[in-house]
Amino acid sequence: MKLLEDKIRNEGIVLPHNVLKVDGFLNHQVDPELMFEIGKEFARLFKDKDITKVLTVESSGIAPAVMAGLALNVPVVFARKHKSLTLTDDLFTAEVYSYTKQTTNHISISKRFLSSQDRVLLVDDFLANGQAISGLLDIADAAGIDVEGVGIVIEKTFQRGSQVVRDRGIQLESLARIKALTDDGQIEFEK
Amino acid sequence: MKLLEDKIRNEGIVLPHNVLKVDGFLNHQVDPELMFEIGKEFARLFKDKDITKVLTVESSGIAPAVMAGLALNVPVVFARKHKSLTLTDDLFTAEVYSYTKQTTNHISISKRFLSSQDRVLLVDDFLANGQAISGLLDIADAAGIDVEGVGIVIEKTFQRGSQVVRDRGIQLESLARIKALTDDGQIEFEK
């Protein structure tokens, strides 16, 4: 998606340890018009999948997911993050390890908002090691739900997250695919 | 806003201690079309304020705030919540007490995304005791920013949050105003 790649080129900042900082338009400050276009693009890419619900994880996934839900005309559910979980009877839960923060969090979705009839699209801001998406896939499994697609705003193709999705035969669409972040701050996209 | 009031009447659940559960369309599952209409309504209500930026707090404020930003054609910044803060040189921070959870959190916004030239609209999902909005007002003060308006999806008018805003002479617009949640589960709106 050219609009997005241009934005990443112009405003993305490369930090050590393969961190790409895009907090100027995606995960702290948000560009609503860009999110709206991203939502429309996800809807176009998954238009044949009869999606009934979009799932994401708080907080950075919410803006692109809600725009995807708007374009697809379906509800969005964002999983909540918790340090620990005690009462879980009415929740589907999964563990998510953060490589950046080196902590394990739990994510949860209320059972009331997932039905085995649902055909869901998972949306997230980044796909790197695939931990958040794996957590959502675990929740979908627990709920007996078909995951019809995974929509990612920025994928780091040099990390192994995509394998998690492709191993399960799920359609993966990443709107920007980055193959390298160089030591001198360059961002290289997949052709 | 009639569409919102109807949604609250039909899907809102009254819990003990004046809790109104609206996680079916606002703060866990999200109704994107409703959020879009809410965003347009905020833009209409604050159209004369020359808003340059919308501020909110993660996570439940993000959906309505991004839709307000879309309708106003301005960026949105969501404050991040932290249990504690250590390195704060590049952040504006404030304390926010949660009556529901009885914990104090910190919220922060990167200094890069606030300029003293900004004219901001604060948006949040709920206004009850006004703690989150007070935190955002503290950050705006620290940044030397004019707060031109506060847009709330659901206000509990029987709690004191509105006073915090009105004491400062700031325009407050709440799209649904609830005057009482009764023991038998009724939701009474202000006329």
Q: How far apart are CA A27 and CA A103, in angstroms?
A: 19
Q: How far apart are CA A69 and CA A144, in angstroms?
A: 21
Ordered mean pLDDT values, 10 residues apiece, chain B (191 residues): 97 94 97 98 98 97 98 98 81 90 92 97 97 97 96 97 96 98 95 86
CB contact under 8 A, A113 and B73: no
Q: Cis link prior to B110 (omega < 30° from 0)?
A: no
**ipTM surpassing 0.95, yes or no?**
yes
Domains of chain B: 39-179 (3.40.50.2020)
Of B31, B32, B76, the CB nearest to A32: B76
Rounded to the nearest 10°, the torsion over CA B164, B169, B170, B174 is: 60
Q: What is the pLDDT of residue B82?
A: 87
Name, in order, each residue with C-beta under 8 angstroms of B173's C-beta and a sequence gap of 6 or more: B42, B45, B46, B149, B150, B151, B152
Q: What is the pLDDT of residue A164?
A: 93
Share above pLDDT 70 across residues of chain A, in percent, rounded to a whole number: 99
CB A158 within 8 A of CB A188: no
For an interface test with A, the pick among B70, B73, B111, B112 (most A C-beta atoms closer than 10 Å) comes out as B70
Q: B29-30 and B53-57: which strand pairing?
A: unpaired
Q: Cis link prior to A115 (omega < 30° from 0)?
A: no
Which among B34, B73, B83, B18 has a CA at the least distance from the CA of B50? Answer: B73
3-state secondary structure chain B: CHHHHHHHHHHCEEECCCEEECCCCCCCEECHHHHHHHHHHHHHHCHHHCCCEEEEECCCCHHHHHHHHHHHCCCEEEEEEECCCCCCCCEEEEEEEECCCCEEEEEEEEHHHCCCCCEEEEEEEEECCCHHHHHHHHHHHHHCCEEEEEEEEEEECCCCHHHHHHCCCCCEEEEEEEEEECCCCCEEECC
For residue B29, the cross-strand partners are A77
Which residues from A are below 8 Å from B31, CB to CB?
A: 75
**Does residue A76 register a pLDDT over 80?**
yes
Q: How far apart are CA B78 and CA B134, in angstroms?
A: 15
Q: In Å, how far is A96's CA from the nearest CA of chain B? A: 18
CB contact under 8 A, B66 and A63: yes
- The whole-number average pLDDT for the span A101-116 is 94
Task: Give the rounded distance of the alpha carbon of B18 from its chain centre.
Answer: 18
Q: A187-189 and B187-189: which strand pairing?
A: unpaired
**Most confident among A15-19, A167-171, B100-104 (mean pLDDT):** A167-171
CB contact under 8 A, B109 and A28: yes
pLDDT band at A93 (very low <50, low <70, confident <90, very high): very high
Q: What is the pLDDT of residue A84?
A: 76
A143-152 pLDDT, tens digit per residue, is: 999 999 999 9
**Does residue A81 register a pLDDT over 80?**
yes
Q: In Å, how far is B181's CA from the nearest CA of chain A? A: 23
Q: What is the pLDDT of residue A83?
A: 79
CB contact under 8 A, A113 and B36: no
Q: Which of residues 34-93 of A touch B (CB under 8 A)?
A: 35-36, 58-59, 62-63, 66-67, 69-70, 73-78, 80
CB B125 within 8 A of CB B61: yes
Q: Using alpha carbons only, what angle is made at residue B82 by residues B153 and A96, rounded to the nearest 5 degrees?
A: 95
Angle between helices A62-72 and B62-72 (to 10 degrees): 70
Question: How many other CB atoms sit within 10 Å of the CB of residue A47?
Answer: 11
pLDDT band at A165 (very low <50, low <70, confident <90, very high): very high
CB contact under 8 A, B113 and A32: no
A23-52 pLDDT, tens digit per residue, is: 999 999 999 999 999 999 999 999 999 999
Q: What is the pLDDT of residue B191?
A: 86
CB contact under 8 A, A28 and B78: yes
Q: How far apart are CA A133 and CA A154, in angstroms?
A: 13
Q: How far apart are CA A79 and CA A59, in angstroms?
A: 9
CB contact under 8 A, A59 and B62: yes
Of A29, A59, A76, the CB nearest to B59: A59
Which residues from B are below 8 Å from A62, CB to CB?
A: 30, 59, 62-63, 66
Tell me the one-letter amino acid at A70.
L
Q: What is the pLDDT of residue A98?
A: 84
Judged by a CB distance cut-off of 8 A, whether residue A101 touches chain B is no
